[in-house]
Amino acid sequence: MARKPTTSAAAILRHRYAKDDPQRKASGEAERTNAEVARLIYTMRTEAGLTQERLAELVGTTQSVISRLEDSDYDGHSLSMLSRIAEALQKKLTLTVTDK
């Protein structure tokens, strides 16, 4: 039986660019993590009805820092900043480590 060709853009890009290169795979995983963290911060902030400026005030930082944290290309996320944001939004920060 013939394999059905994939139409998943992510799968096509993974196959085309990462292949079996561990360094490229690790880089892709890091980018996915950065995007997830950025999306999480943005979602929590908007669900709370806050502007970047207001969240920055609550966290004790500047609007430009919040903007950077919400940028999926930013790779300087820190656990302490995530903790401060969670606290400001009255959320509990939990971490999970899973097998790949």
List the one residue out of 23, 31, 58, 61 whose CA is nearest residue 44.
Answer: 58
Cα–Cα distance for residue pair 42/48, rounded to 1 Å: 10
**Matching residue, tokens 């039986």:** 1
Going from the C-alpha of 93 to that of each of 20, 44, 74, 80, 96, the distances in angstroms are 34, 12, 20, 10, 10
The per-residue pLDDT string of the chain (100 residues; one tens digit each, 9 = 90 and over) reads 677 777 788 777 777 776 777 787 777 788 888 999 999 999 999 999 999 999 999 999 999 999 999 998 998 999 999 999 999 999 999 989 888 7
Report if pTM > 0.85: no
Q: What's the confidence (pLDDT) of residue 39?
A: 96
Domains for the chain: give ranges and CATH numbers.
Answer: 10-88 (1.10.260.40)
Q: What's the confidence (pLDDT) of residue 24?
A: 77
